[in-house]
């Protein structure tokens, strides 16, 4: 154990106590592998290659020999040296918690905070609950591994529960359960991999209990369990099998699901891989420096792992890795150019500056630094354009196609064709897995006029997302609006201040988020199509009004003709009577 919760210097790590242990090749016997030259063990007369029979020492001393002795308390040992027994009494010096110890404590607190955050923000989400349990189980397991108490019995129980025991096995099993939620249905290979991972986790839990029982009772040899190479293989094998099960889950998943499980597995998987490397190296090279170095490496991954897990759970749309790499490349290139230029110029002027006075040399260096400082914006702009073209060339071509269609939409003369073309163009050039066009009806309801793999239900004009579109005229993130309108983003199709339609985009095919420039292009498409539809609708309305007017005029004319015919018939009767009288 490396880290000890050392309140007021009461407990010390066994390396600080002055010895390191290894199997002696005999049952129940450990050998002193090394003794610190100036430590309390050396001062008490303990030597390298001394043997200690665990059956010959009391329970408390057995546990503290393997775990960590208590500072200032006499620790008697009977050791075998050259065939004779020697009694030594070691009084461990109080030792403050080293810097890496405090780092370890802060890391545990950090992980516990993220575990609580995941459980708090997504309590109804099964995968969130599982990841919260993974982090919580890890924190408690490692805390028990590094915790030393004055009670040897309690320490022995902690040994059965810690990362190499029940709680560690439980955390690994929960992680396997998490990966099994993705890429369903499970193939036969995945079921076998998951079964092996569960079995190895159960075996790890049994190992922790058996080791604690062996150390406490000496009914069977605890040395093999605590120091044997097969124990290292068991712990490493369990973690490797969990990683294999996770790898199968990544391979079987697609789209957003694949990105979520990949992000989570990359976060926690790197930590498990670091644990495996740590255990192998500290077993092969059992030195204090190696232990500190490997624990520091594990702490780094332990800091990063909960961030990745939390982001994978709390963010519905995962990080745009291409954008992150783009920004990293830009800033790296700018730094290399500026710093490299400064170093090269100073090297070229080195001989002259060496012969110049101190004031001149300082003035030249300051002027060079100021000049490079003012050139940052120029260099950043040029580098940004080059890197952006390398990373996002295809995306920019798709955006140009969307903007081109936004302009062409005004020249389409059929409203039905325009709606179908809009959905098709957006699905193709925005890489959207689903697209729907919602059009306003006379009663204020927005009905799906056309869709690409997404027949949405009717939505009221009072739906929260629709209200936001009507009020602001700006695109709406549908994950921020609880209502009947589903999807990723909704773009208003407005004209003359009226929301005549809505362009709804679902998730992208590859699961990445919509970039800001993509959303801007889609907003322009929706605006252009909205104006074109309004023009077509208005033209059709004018034509209908004209036809209705002509129909009214024709009806009036028919009525007048009927009256004229009636009058002519009446006049004809009068004329006929007059003629007859004459």
pLDDT of residue 380: 66
More confident residue, 29 or 562: 29
Mean pLDDT of the region 44-55: 84
With 0-12 / 13-18 / 19 or more C-beta atoms within 10 angstroms meaning exposed / middle / buried, residue 374 is: exposed
pLDDT of residue 18: 65
Mean pLDDT of the region 456-462: 90
- CA nearest 94: which of 7, 212, 164, 220? 7
- Give me the torsion for CA of 217, 218, 220, 222, rounded to 10°: 110
CB 255 within 8 A of CB 270: no
Could you report the per-residue pLDDT of 365-407, keeping only the tens digit for each? Answer: 667 667 766 676 776 677 767 766 666 777 788 889 999 998 9
DSSP 3-state of 265: helix
Query: pLDDT class for 511, splitting at 50, 70, 90?
Result: low
More confident residue, 318 or 35: 35
- CA nearest 499: which of 542, 426, 454, 441? 441
Cα 61 to Cα 17, 89, 213: the distances in Å are 14, 12, 15
Beta bridge partners of 52: 30
Statement: residue 493 has pLDDT above 70? yes
pLDDT of residue 2: 29
More confident residue, 133 or 509: 133
Statement: residue 153 has pLDDT above 80? yes
- The string of DSSP letters for 236-260 reads HHHHHHHHHHHHHHHHH--HHHHHH
DSSP 3-state of 454: coil
Query: pLDDT class for 14, splitting at 50, 70, 90?
Result: very low
Query: pLDDT class for 466, splitting at 50, 70, 90?
Result: very high
Statement: residue 343 has pLDDT above 90? no
Among 256-265, 270-279, 424-433, where is mean pLDDT lowest?
256-265
Mean pLDDT of the region 334-342: 67
CB 505 within 8 A of CB 476: no
Tokens found for residue 266: 């990359």
Instruction: Walk across the sheet containing 51-53 and list its strands.
Output: 19-23, 29-35, 51-53, 75-81, 84-90
Q: Apex CA 364: angle with CA 360 and CA 367, to 5°? A: 135
More confident residue, 531 or 354: 531
- Unique residue bearing structure tokens 């050791």: 79
Domains and CATH numbers, the chain: 7-90 (2.30.42.10), 99-315 (1.20.1070), 322-391 (no CATH), 412-539 (3.30.450.40)
pLDDT of residue 12: 35
Q: What H or E segment, with its residue span, contains residue 271? A: helix 255-284
- The string of DSSP letters for 484-546 reads S--SSEEEEEEETTEEEEEEEE--BTT-PPPPHHHHHHHHHHHHHHHHHHHHHHHHHHHHHHH
366 Cβ contact list (under 8 Å, min separation 6): none
pLDDT of residue 189: 92
Residue 83 is classified by DSSP as T
With 0-12 / 13-18 / 19 or more C-beta atoms within 10 angstroms meaning exposed / middle / buried, residue 438 is: buried
Mean of the per-residue pLDDT values of the chain: 79
Give me the phi and psi of 244, to 5 degrees please.
Answer: -65, -45
Query: pLDDT class for 505, splitting at 50, 70, 90?
Result: very high
pLDDT of residue 148: 72
CB 479 within 8 A of CB 461: no
Q: What H or E segment, with its residue span, contains residue 346? A: helix 321-348
Statement: residue 516 has pLDDT above 90? no
- Distance separating alpha carbons of residues 580 and 574, to the nearest angstrom: 10
| Residues belonging to the chain | 582
- Distance separating alpha carbons of residues 94 and 142, to the nearest angstrom: 23
CB 422 within 8 A of CB 503: yes
With 0-12 / 13-18 / 19 or more C-beta atoms within 10 angstroms meaning exposed / middle / buried, residue 141 is: buried
Mean pLDDT of the region 194-199: 95
Cα torsion 257, 261, 264, 270: sign: negative
Tokens found for residue 224: 């093999």
CB 80 within 8 A of CB 97: no
Q: Apex CA 321: angle with CA 315 and CA 326, to 5°? A: 135
More confident residue, 356 or 307: 307
- The string of DSSP letters for 179-234 reads HTTSSSSPPHHHHHHHHHHHHHHHHHHHHHHHHHHHHHH-SS-HHHHHH-HHHHHH
- Distance separating alpha carbons of residues 377 and 552, to the nearest angstrom: 70
Give me the phi and psi of 525, to 5 degrees please.
Answer: -60, -50
Number of Cβ atoms within 10 Å of the Cβ of 478: 20
51 Cβ contact list (under 8 Å, min separation 6): 24, 26, 29, 30, 31, 32, 79, 80, 81
């Amino acid at each position: 154990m490396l880290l000890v919760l050392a309140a007021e210097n009461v407990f010390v790590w066994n390396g600080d106590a002055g010895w390191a242990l290894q199997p002696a090749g005999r049952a129940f016997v450990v050998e002193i592998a090394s003794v610190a030259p100036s430590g309390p063990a050396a001062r008490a007369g303990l030597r390298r290659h001394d043997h200690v029979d665990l059956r010959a020492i009391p329970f408390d001393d057995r546990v503290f020999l393997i775990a960590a002795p208590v500072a200032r308390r006499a620790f008697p040992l009977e050791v075998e040296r050259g065939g004779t027994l020697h009694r030594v009494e070691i009084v461990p010096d109080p030792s403050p918690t080293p810097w890496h110890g405090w780092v370890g404590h802060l890391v545990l607190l950090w992980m516990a905070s993220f575990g609580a955050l995941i459980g708090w923000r997504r309590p109804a989400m099964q995968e969130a609950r599982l990841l919260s349990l993974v982090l919580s189980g890890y924190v408690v397991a490692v805390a028990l591994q590094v915790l030393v108490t004055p009670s040897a019995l309690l320490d022995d129980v902690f040994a059965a529960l810690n990362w190499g025991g029940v709680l560690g096995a439980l955390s690994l099993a929960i992680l396997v359960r998490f990966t099994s939620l993705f890429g369903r249905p499970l193939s036969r290979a995945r079921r076998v991999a998951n079964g092996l991972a569960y079995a190895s986790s159960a075996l790890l839990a049994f190992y922790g209990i058996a080791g604690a029982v062996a150390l406490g009772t000496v009914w069977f040899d605890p040395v093999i369990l605590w120091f044997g190479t097969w124990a290292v293989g068991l712990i490493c094998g369990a973690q490797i099998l969990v990683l294999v099960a996770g790898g199968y889950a990544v391979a079987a998943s697609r789209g957003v699901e694949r990105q979520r499980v990949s992000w989570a597995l990359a976060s926690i998987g790197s930590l498990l891989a670091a644990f495996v490397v740590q255990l192998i190296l500290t077993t092969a090279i059992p030195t204090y420096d190696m232990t500190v170095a490997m624990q520091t490496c594990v702490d780094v991954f332990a800091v990063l792992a909960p961030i990745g897990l939390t982001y994978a759970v709390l963010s519905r749309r995962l990080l745009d890795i291409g954008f992150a790499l783009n920004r990293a490349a830009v800033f790296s290139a700018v730094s290399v150019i500026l710093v490299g230029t400064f170093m090269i110029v100073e090297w070229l002027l080195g001989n002259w500056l060496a012969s110049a006075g101190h004031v001149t040399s300082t003035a030249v260096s300051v002027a060079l630094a100021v000049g490079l400082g003012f050139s940052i914006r120029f260099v950043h702009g040029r580098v940004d354009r080059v890197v952006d073209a390398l990373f996002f060339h295809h995306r920019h071509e798709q955006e140009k196609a969307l903007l081109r269609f936004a302009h062409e939409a005004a020249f389409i003369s059929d409203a039905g064709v325009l709606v179908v073309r809009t959905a098709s163009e957006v699905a193709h050039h925005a890489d959207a897995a689903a697209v729907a066009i919602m059009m306003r009806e006379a009663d204020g309801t927005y009905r799906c006029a056309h869709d690409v793999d997404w027949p949405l239900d009717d939505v009221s004009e009072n739906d929260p997302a629709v209200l936001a579109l009507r009020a602001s005229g700006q695109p709406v993130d549908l994950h921020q609006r609880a209502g009947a309108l589903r999807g990723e983003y909704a773009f208003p199709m407005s004209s003359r201040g009226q929301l005549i339609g809505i362009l709804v985009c679902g998730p992208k095919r590859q699961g990445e988020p919509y970039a800001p420039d993509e959303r801007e292009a889609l907003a322009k498409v929706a605006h252009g199509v909205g104006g074109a539809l309004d023009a077509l609708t208005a033209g059709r309305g004018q034509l209908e009004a004209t036809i209705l007017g002509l129909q009214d005029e024709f009806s009036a004319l028919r009525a007048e003709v009927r009256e004229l015919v009636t009058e002519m018939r009446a006049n004809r009767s009068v004329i006929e009577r007059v003629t007859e009288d004459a």
